[in-house]
Amino acid sequence: MHQSPHVLIFPFPAQGHVNFMLKLAELLALASLKVTFLNSKYNHENLVCHIYILSHFTQYPGFKFETIPDGLPQDHPLVVHAIGDMFESLELITHLRIVS
């Protein structure tokens, strides 16, 4: 039995990166690859609030969205000049998940 490859896409947590990687994910899904789009919780919530993203990607049976926590406190200013904090926090969270 032949299984199609499974691709994990985890974009840098900045909106421009997310948009381009989402397009790549769609192209891979069109090629019948299984795709998991991993996003920070904050960026995922922004995606689903502003565009038709969830309903659009249901047409690809091997596509799924997954999220990981941002690792930052609720009152943290998630703005461009604080992106370094988010990146460090995501790096720590992903490292902890891989080790455990």
Q: Is residue 18 part of a domain?
A: yes
- List the domain range (segments joined by +) for residue 60: 6-70
Q: Is residue 66 part of a domain?
A: yes
Most confident of 3-12, 24-33, 53-62: 24-33
Q: Is residue 94 part of a domain?
A: no
Pairing assessment for the beta strands 34-40 and 63-68 based on DSSP bridges? parallel
- Six-digit token string for 61: 């049976």
Give the total number of structural domains in the chain: 1
Q: Is the pLDDT of residue 40 over 70?
A: yes
* pLDDT higher at 43 or 80: 43
What confidence score (pLDDT) does residue 42 get? 77
